[in-house]
Structure 1
Amino acid sequence: MSLVHPPLKALATCLVALATGPALAQDWATREVCDVPQVALYEDTLDAPLAELERQAAEIPNGLGRFWRITAPGGAVSHLWGTFHSTQREVLDLPDMVLAEIARAKTVALEIDPVYPSRAAYRADVTHEGRYIADGQPSAYNTLSLDPRVDGWIRDRLDGIGWGRDSTDYLTLGALTEVLLWPPCEDFASGTYPTQDTLIQTLGHIKGARVVGLESAQRIRQKLDGTGGRSMGAAMLTVYGSYLAPVEDWKGAATGYALYLQGRIAVSMMQDRAYIESLFGEEGLDQLDYLDTWLLDERNHDFVEAAAPLLDEGGVFVAVGSFHLPGEEGMVKLFRDRGYRVERVAVPGEVQTP
């Protein structure tokens, strides 16, 4: 099973409109499978023993905790929050201390700002500009030699949301990735409940905060459709395609939510690796590592660079996918390396020590 991999799925909140009709899940993705009645840690759904995941997680710096106070060298205070890109009600039920900081923030900074900056940008998106292969050009997807299981899951997903199984013949790699970032079980709430990231953006907007994106909303697509994007596209479609594998019940998702709510981000990351390894072996881990050098590491550096001038002003609430926080290349360490004091703020319900 897969715990939801959180680094990027916020992008899907503004891209699910790519579907030509109502979002319809695959046959396995029923309300009975997708609705999680009880968030709890079900150890039998993990792809490695919990003790082993915890041992591996202990080696990752700053792997525990979702909420961090950042003090700039000049004394200005801001906050960093690790999100989970989901509409699950427990994920949307933000702690009071987090809500208070959103309410008083002068700036809310997210991975992207999905609000269209212009009429032209809106038109380009709704007409799917740049998402189709140019006339006479071959499909990059059909040269990737993906694992047959992943290829089947991807085609099932494309068919389930109205594009058709053979839309790989005319969609670019970037466009395919945009479509696949939205998981099947989120279809039921599409256009109704916000993801946690969208909720944070909305709350900040209501309170009058300036809302900014730390990167362009088109960055993923432009990366995969640019020079050299084919190898990264293969890694991304392998990893995110694997999250489309059918599941039999909701307990795996419940476990993912539980680990997140407990603040055990590094354990979630290790579970993600165990899941990929269970499907593809060492080759899959190589693909995941290659993907994360860009999806996490490079983007973390760019996020920190974009956020730094805002943090020097203070009053910023930074909200990014929780996998961006831990690690040697994680945002917590990168901010510290730049001279900021970054301290964990314990949130109710989180474990306090590994």
Structure 2
Amino acid sequence: MTDFLRCGGGRLRRYGVLLLLAAMPALGLAACSPVKPFVPDPSQIPHGQGRLWQVDGPGLETSYVFATFDGLDKRALDLPPAVTEAFGKTEALVLEGVGDQYLKAEIYTEENLELSGDQTLDDLIGARSFGTLSWHMKQRQRLPNPKAKPWVMWVYLGGENFGFGEYKDYEYRTYEFQVTRLRSRADEGGMEIEGLMTEQEYFDIYDKIPLDQQADMLKVTLDRYEGLPPQTTKGRFYLDGDLARLDAVWREYLSWLQPETAATLDARRITDRNGVMVDRLLPLMQEKSIFVALDSLHLPGEMGILRLLEQRGLTVARLL
């Protein structure tokens, strides 16, 4: 085996180190013909509107929380004046993770990404789903690794994108990410950059999901993308500050899964991490003024980071 995916492109690593995670368009699964986008009713949740908040509290330095967007919509790269102003008032940029190339190399190995023993991906997802996966990958001169854990292929197929393609995203497509631009600004300004999650914790988000549930995630993704993929205007929702609607898209995706799988995925990807990140944010806010940039799905809702901060006695005020 010359590489993990048998395609000559290198081993899978987190968030584009050697593998494009926006792989659905790359695999030819997103058709160019426009279809009517999925526009859900917004979730009725706390802090469902906004992109920037100021956080204050006894014994804390004034800090800011900014909702980031992980899509490929270049319009999100232009930071509004309110965001630029808040960024300039802080001493450190705080992200979900800062990325440690050495640790990634130690964690994202074939041994850790492959099934143990005699198990195969075909056994877990069935011949039909494995055939669908093989067909799509062959369109890009690739073959699936039959020993890959289901979550690895789920990530490769863009499963983290709520299960939806971006409606007409080719009009605004970019391959620069919002967080990358924020990090560049912090570097230029001599700001500290800190991460809330370790590389091992990132890896464990999906790796600790039971294999049968990983298989459910992958099979549902393959079934949904077998024809024309569902699409939604996630970039537009984000620019409008409509986090409640982004949450509704995520809830729609979870509804496709088995209830046990949906509960596990939501907990491991969103809610469990929210509590951990709040615990780690508070000491930082006591030390200095920080600019916290986190994925939009982590912020709204009863178990979102903004409400958790309020439950700790902090004042959260929307600025944008």
For normalisation by structure 1, the TM-score amounts to 0.70
Q: CA deviation at 1:324?
A: 0.7
C-alpha contact 1:173 1:225 (8 A) present in aligned 2: no
* Cα distance change of structure 1 residues 66 and 309 upon mapping to structure 2, 3 Å threshold: same
Q: Give CA deviations for 1:24-75 in whole Å, capped at 9, x if unaligned.
A: 8123446x569xxxxxxx9x52265xxxx14xx23x1111112111113214
Counterpart amino acid of residue 58 in structure 2: P
Q: Is the 8 A contact 1:239 1:276 kept in 2?
A: no
Match of 1:208 in 2: 190
Q: Deviations over 1:246-278 (max 9, x none)?
A: 5479xx44x22111111111122223333554x
Counterpart residue number, 1:101: 86
Residue of structure 1 equivalent to 2:211 = 230
Does 266-275 or 302-311 show the bigger shift?
266-275
The 3-state SS of whatever aligns with 1:82 is strand
Compared CA separation, residues 87 and 341, structure 1 to 2 (3 A): same
Q: Which residue is equivalent to 1:311?
A: 285
Q: Distance in 1 between matches of 2:319 and 2:274?
A: 21
Is the CA contact 1:102–1:203 (under 8 Å) kept in the aligned structure 2? no
Q: Quickly say closer, same or farther: Cα 1:203–1:329, change in 2 above 3 A.
A: same
How many residue pairs get matched?
A: 299
Conservation of the 8 A alpha-carbon contact between 2:205 and 2:268 = no
Superposed displacement of residue 241, structure 1: 5.5
User: Residue 337 of structure 1 corresponds to which residue in structure 2?
Assistant: 311
The alignment partner of 2:26 has SS state of coil
Using the aligned pairs only, state the percent identity: 25
How far residue 171 of structure 1 moved from its aligned partner, in angstroms, is 1.7
Instruction: Give 2:266's aligned residue.
Output: 292
Tell me which amino acid in the other structure corresponds to 1:296: I
Change (3 A) 1:110 1:199: same
Most deviating of 215-224 and 317-326: 215-224
1:45 partner amino acid: P
Aligned to 2:181: 199
- Structure 2 counterpart of 1:271, from 249, 258, 278: 249
Q: Is this contact kept in 1: 2:64–2:291, CA < 8 A?
A: yes
Which protein is richer in helix relative to its size?
1
CA 1:310 to 1:244, structure 2 compared with 1: closer, same or farther past 3 Å? farther
| Residue in 2 that maps onto 1:175 | 152
Alignment-derived partner of residue 235 in structure 2? 257
Instruction: Tell me: CA distance 1:301–1:126, structure 2 relative to 1, closer, same or farther (3 Å).
Output: closer
1:1-354 equivalent positions in 2, closer than 5 A: 14-18=15-19, 25-29=26-30, 32=32, 44-46=36-38, 48=40, 53-54=41-42, 57-58=43-44, 60-116=45-101, 118=102, 121=103, 123-124=105-106, 128=110, 130-134=112-116, 136-139=117-120, 141-145=121-125, 154-155=133-134, 158-159=137-138, 163-164=142-143, 166-167=144-145, 169-181=146-158, 193-226=175-208, 229-234=210-215, 236-237=217-218, 244=225, 247=228, 252-253=231-232, 255-274=233-252, 277=255, 280=256, 284=258, 287-346=261-320
Query: What is the CA–CA distance in structure 2 between the aligned matches of 1:247 and 1:86, rounded to whole Å?
Result: 20
Q: Distance in 1 between matches of 2:126 and 2:68?
A: 30
Q: Do 2:72 and 2:175's aligned partners in 1 also have CA atoms closer than 8 Å?
A: yes
Shift of 1:88: 1.1
